[in-house]
Amino acid sequence: MSEEPGLLMTLGRRSGPLDTVLIHPAGGGLGQYLRLARRLARHGTVHGIRAAGLLPGERPERSVPRMAAAYRELLDRLPRPPALLAGWSLGGILAWELAAQAAAAGNAGDTPPPAVVMIDSHPELEPDNALLRSHPLDSIEHSVSGLSSGFEPALLRSTAAAHLTAARAHRVRQPSDTPTLLLACASPDREAQIARWRSLATRLTVRDLNCGHFEIFTPPHQDELLGHVQPFVDGLIAAR
């Protein structure tokens, strides 16, 4: 994995029809995406966007719109627009917002806006959401600590806390007709989560993950994740 200046990183470089950008979840790192990145790199170059706040001197962002604006500039630097944006949790929200903005603005030439994969992302987090009742800051820290070697624990925690603030405050309102895959975990909120996304996404595919939100990237659940993502990607490539 090679790093480019700033927050944009190259996770896999290969010529192919489908370039992907993976966007960090709450906590800011990209370590949990490495296996997914290897799979997606079979079809084209894969970049990742990590969050500000993980290195000394950086401040984490506490606003989804401000993160999306910064990441839009990063996407504009790529040699060609990505065909797919994907992310877990907060990363899926950011992927949706960026894709919806691209669709609303219109892309140059005949390039369609990117498709989206959202891994158990919620368009809004009500106060009684199961994730918010389950000590999410501790869960985020635990989920990323083993995957983010080189980052200071205090910076990981402050970045995760900032991202929780951003997620609590944000409500997805922009609809889009870009092809979208939602992978929804087992949760008391799953039906409401899916219904809300259906009101926003006119081309939504939903697949269930039979695990909790913070178990997705552990075996065998990551195999289940990859098993759902691959047919969606195959469909995107066939339609190009």
Q: What is the pLDDT along the chain (240 residues), one digit of tens a residue?
A: 333 348 999 999 999 999 999 999 998 989 899 999 999 999 999 999 999 999 999 999 999 999 999 999 999 999 999 999 999 999 999 999 999 999 988 754 567 899 999 999 999 987 666 565 555 666 666 666 554 556 788 888 899 999 999 999 999 999 999 999 999 999 999 999 999 999 999 999 999 999 999 899 988 899 999 999 999 999 999 998
CB atoms within 10 A of CB 153: 10
pLDDT of residue 106: 74
**178 SS3 class:** coil
How many Å apart are CA 156 and CA 38, to the nearest integer? 25
Question: Residue 20 belongs to what H/E stretch?
Answer: strand 20-23
pLDDT of residue 125: 83
What is the CB-side half-sphere exposure of residue 177 using CA atoms within 13 A?
3
> Taking a C-beta distance cutoff of 8 angstroms, is the pair 119, 216 a contact?
yes
**Single-letter residue type at 13:** R
pLDDT of residue 139: 65
